[in-house]
C-alpha cells in the first residue's frame, strides 16, 4: 500500500447537488407551491437574530453537509441525538431542523406531501418537499443536542444555558418541524467580499486539483488570525505523508455569531491578508467559507467541520485547544478526546475515522503555541519546557487591546491583518459583532437574489 495519501471521497460516497440551474425547470418545480418567507430565528431572550435557515438550505443543497439532503424527520433527529448518525448510518452531529411556529403552520395549512416555496428577500429561493410535520420541545432538543454533565461526563463540564449561543438557537426554535428534501431553485448571488471565498465542495475539489495539491489540511476559523493561529496553520501543515501538506485550506464559518466576535468580512479578509502579504505563501494557502450559524459545540462542531472539509476535498484537519468553543461548558480538549478515542456517551465509541460510515479525513490534534520569553520565540506547548513563564495567546486579550485602540505588536498580530480590522471597523463604527451588526447582517445577508416569476399559492 502506498504511503501517499489521496483526496478522500465525499462523506456518504457522493456529493449532494440539489441546485436547479435550469430556470424553466425551476419555475415548473415551484409552480403551485405554498409560499413562505424565510425569517430569522430570534433569541428567546432578547429578540436578536441568531440564525437564518437559508444558510442551512445552502449548505445542504451545495453539498457541504453531504450526504444530508434535507431537513430532518423526527426519526432522523432522534437517531442523530442518540448516536450522531443519519438514518442512512452516516455520522452527523447536529439536528438540522426547519422550524415554524404553530401559528405559522396554521396559516400555511400544509401537510405531508405538500411543496413549500421558500422566499428569501422577497424572491423565490428554494423548495421544500414536506415529508413529515412533527412537533418538538425546543429546550429538550437543545439539551440533548449539546449534552449534560450527567449524561456526557467525558466532556461536558456544566449545564448549557441561554448564555451559550448554540444552545440558544435550538431553544429559540418554533416547536414545529417541517421535514423533507430541499432544492435551491434560484441561485443566490454573493456580494463582495463573500463572492471571492465561495467554494462549494465540487468547486473546491476542482480548485484543489487545479493547484496540484494531493494533501490539504483544513483550518477552521471564526476569528481574524493572530500569529498563534498562523503558527498553528504552518506547523500543523507539516503533517502530510511523505512531505508536508501541499495546501492549507482556511474555511471560515459565516453567519450569525456571538456578540464580541469579529465581523465576518474582517475574518475573511484578515485570513486573505496572511497570504496576500506572504506570511504564508499564496501557493499553499486558500481562504474559503461555509454558511452556518455556529453552534459552538466544540467536539460536535469538530465532527461537522470534519464532514464539511472532507466534502471540500481536504485530507487532514487541524484541531486546537477549545475548538469552536465558547465559555467553559466543555472540557477544553473535548475535540481532541473525540478524535483520539471517541465519546461513547454521544454514541461515538471510537474516533470518527475508526467507525463504520465514519470519516476519512485525518485529524491533526495540536495543543497550543505560546510566546516563551526564555526561548525568545513562539514555541509549542508540549515542546517548550518553560510553562511557568510562558505567555499564552489569548483572543480575548487581543480583542481588548484592539478595543482600546492600541495596535497589537507584530509578534502577535500582523499589521496588514490589523488594518483589515480597522477597515471594517470604519464601515460599522465598531470592530466586533454587536446587536446593530446582527440586525444589519440579517437584513442584508451575504447574498442577493435575481427576480423570478413563479405562480405560487400565497
Partner 1 sequence: MPYKIAVILDKSRIERIRGTPVENEVKDLYGGYLKVIELTVPDEIAQRILKEFPRARIDARGFIEETPVVFKRELFEVIVQLKSTGPEVFSELLKPNRLSRIKEAAAKEDEYLPPPNVAYCG
Residue ranges binding partner 1 (CB under 8 A): 259-260, 321-322, 327-328, 332, 371, 373, 376, 391-392, 394-397, 399-401, 403-407, 409-412, 416, 418-420, 422-423, 425-426, 429-431, 434-436
For residue 438, give every residue at least 6 positions away whose Cβ sits within 8 Å of its Cβ, in sequence order, or none. Answer: 48, 49, 50, 256, 259
Query: Is 291:55 a contact under the CB 8 Å cutoff?
Result: yes
Least CB distance to partner 1 at residue 436 (A)? 6
In whole angstroms, the minimum distance from the beta carbon of 396 to partner 1 comes to 4
Q: What does DSSP assign to residue 359?
A: -
The residue written with cell numbers 444555558 in the block is: 161
Q: How far apart are CA 153 and CA 331, in angstroms?
A: 10
Per-state percent for the chain, helix, strand, coil, to nearest 5 = 35, 20, 45
Measured distance CA(148)–CA(254) in Å, rounded? 27
The answer to whether residues 216 and 201 touch, using CB atoms and an 8 Å cutoff, is no
Q: Which is nearer to partner 1, 131 or 442 (CB)?
A: 442
CB of 376 to partner 1, least distance (A): 7
Nearer to partner 1, 2 or 396 (CB): 396
Q: Minimum distance between the CB of residue 197 and partner 1, rounded to whole angstroms?
A: 16
> Smallest distance from the beta carbon of 346 to partner 1, in angstroms?
24
For partner 1, give the closer residue by CB, 239 or 422. 422
- Output 81 or 325, the one with its CB closest to partner 1: 325
Question: 115: Cβ–Cβ under 8 A, 6 or more apart, which residues?
Answer: 29, 30, 32, 33, 34, 127, 128, 129, 130
The closest alpha carbon to 311, from 215, 210, 202, 218, belongs to: 202
**Which is closer to partner 1, CB of 146 or CB of 370?**
370
In degrees and rounded to multiples of 5, residue 18 shows phi and psi of -115, 45
3-state DSSP assignment of residue 211: coil
Q: Which is nearer to partner 1, 357 or 367 (CB)?
A: 367
Closer residue to partner 1 in complex, CB, 79/227: 227
Report d(CA 318, CA 271) in Å as an integer.
16
Computed on alpha carbons and rounded to an integer, the radius of gyration of the chain in Å comes to: 22
Task: CB nearer to partner 1: give 94 or 425.
Answer: 425
CB of 270 to partner 1, least distance (A): 12
| Closest C-alpha among 250, 223, 212, 211 to residue 234 | 250
Nearest alpha-carbon partner for 307 in 140, 80, 139? 80
**Nearest residue (CB) to partner 1, 278 versus 349:** 278
Closest C-alpha to 118, from 66, 165, 71: 71
Are the C-beta atoms of 271 and 250 separated by less than 8 Å?
yes
Q: Which is nearer to partner 1, 17 or 322 (CB)?
A: 322
Query: Smallest distance from the beta carbon of 404 to partner 1, in angstroms?
Result: 5
**Least CB distance from residue 198 to partner 1, whole Å?**
20
- Residue 208 has a CB neighbour count (10 Å cut-off) of 23
| Closest to 180 in 3D by CA, of 127, 230, 234, 129 | 129
Round to whole Å and give the CA distance between 442 and 54: 11
Minimum distance, C-beta of residue 453 to partner 1, in the bound complex (Å): 40
- The torsion angles phi and psi of 250, rounded to 5 degrees, stand at -85, 130
Q: Nearest distance from residue 169's CB to partner 1, in Å?
A: 19
For partner 1, give the closer residue by CB, 115 or 414. 414
Is there a contact between 218 and 232 (Cβ–Cβ < 8 Å)?
no
For the bound state, the minimum distance from the C-beta of residue 157 to partner 1, rounded and expressed in Å, comes to 13
Amino acid at each position: 500500500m502506498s504511503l501517499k495519501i489521496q483526496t478522500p471521497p465525499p462523506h456518504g460516497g457522493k456529493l449532494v447537488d440539489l441546485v436547479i440551474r435550469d430556470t424553466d425547470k425551476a419555475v415548473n418545480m415551484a409552480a403551485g407551491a405554498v409560499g413562505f418567507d424565510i425569517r430569522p430565528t430570534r433569541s428567546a431572550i432578547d429578540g436578536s437574530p441568531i440564525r437564518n435557515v437559508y444558510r442551512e438550505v445552502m449548505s445542504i443543497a451545495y453539498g457541504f453537509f453531504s450526504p444530508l439532503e434535507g431537513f430532518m424527520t423526527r426519526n432522523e433527529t432522534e437517531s442523530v441525538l442518540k448516536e450522531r448518525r443519519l438514518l442512512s448510518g452516516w455520522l452527523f452531529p447536529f439536528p438540522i431542523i426547519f422550524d415554524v411556529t404553530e401559528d405559522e403552520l396554521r396559516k400555511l395549512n400544509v401537510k405531508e406531501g405538500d411543496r413549500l416555496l421558500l422566499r428569501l428577500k422577497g424572491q423565490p429561493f428554494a423548495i421544500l418537499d414536506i415529508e413529515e410535520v412533527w412537533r418538538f420541545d425546543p429546550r429538550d432538543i437543545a439539551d440533548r443536542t449539546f449534552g449534560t454533565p450527567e449524561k456526557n461526563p467525558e466532556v461536558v463540564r456544566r449545564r448549557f444555558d441561554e448564555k451559550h449561543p448554540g444552545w440558544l438557537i435550538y431553544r429559540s426554535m418554533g416547536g414545529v418541524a417541517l421535514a423533507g428534501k430541499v432544492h435551491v431553485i434560484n441561485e443566490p448571488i454573493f456580494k463582495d467580499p463573500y463572492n471571492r471565498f465561495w467554494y462549494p465542495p465540487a468547486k473546491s475539489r476542482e480548485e484543489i486539483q487545479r493547484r496540484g495539491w494531493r494533501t490539504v489540511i483544513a483550518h477552521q476559523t471564526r476569528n481574524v488570525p493572530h500569529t498563534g493561529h498562523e503558527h498553528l496553520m504552518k506547523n500543523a501543515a507539516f503533517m502530510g505523508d511523505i512531505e508536508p501538506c501541499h495546501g492549507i485550506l482556511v474555511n471560515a464559518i459565516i453567519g450569525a455569531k456571538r456578540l464580541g466576535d469579529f465581523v465576518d468580512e474582517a475574518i475573511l479578509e484578515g485570513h486573505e491578508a496572511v497570504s496576500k502579504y506572504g506570511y504564508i505563501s499564496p501557493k499553499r494557502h486558500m481562504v474559503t467559507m461555509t454558511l452556518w450559524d455556529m453552534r459552538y459545540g466544540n467536539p460536535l462542531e469538530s465532527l461537522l467541520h470534519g464532514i464539511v472539509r472532507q466534502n471540500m476535498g481536504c485530507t487532514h484537519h487541524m484541531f486546537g485547544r477549545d475548538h469552536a468553543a465558547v465559555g467553559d461548558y466543555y472540557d477544553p480538549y473535548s475535540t481532541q478526546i473525540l478524535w483520539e478515542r471517541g465519546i461513547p456517551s454521544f454514541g461515538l465509541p471510537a474516533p470518527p475515522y475508526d467507525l463504520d460510515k465514519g470519516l476519512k479525513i485525518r485529524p491533526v490534534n495540536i495543543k497550543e503555541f505560546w510566546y516563551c520569553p526564555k526561548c525568545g520565540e513562539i514555541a509549542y506547548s508540549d515542546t517548550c519546557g518553560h510553562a511557568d513563564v510562558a505567555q499564552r495567546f489569548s483572543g480575548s486579550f487581543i480583542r481588548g487591546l484592539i478595543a482600546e485602540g492600541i495596535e497589537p505588536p507584530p509578534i502577535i498580530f500582523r499589521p496588514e491583518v490589523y488594518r483589515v480590522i480597522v477597515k471594517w471597523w470604519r464601515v460599522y463604527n465598531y470592530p466586533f459583532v454587536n446587536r446593530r451588526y446582527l440586525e444589519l447582517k440579517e437584513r442584508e445577508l451575504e447574498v442577493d437574489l435575481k427576480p423570478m416569476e413563479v405562480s405560487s399559492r400565497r
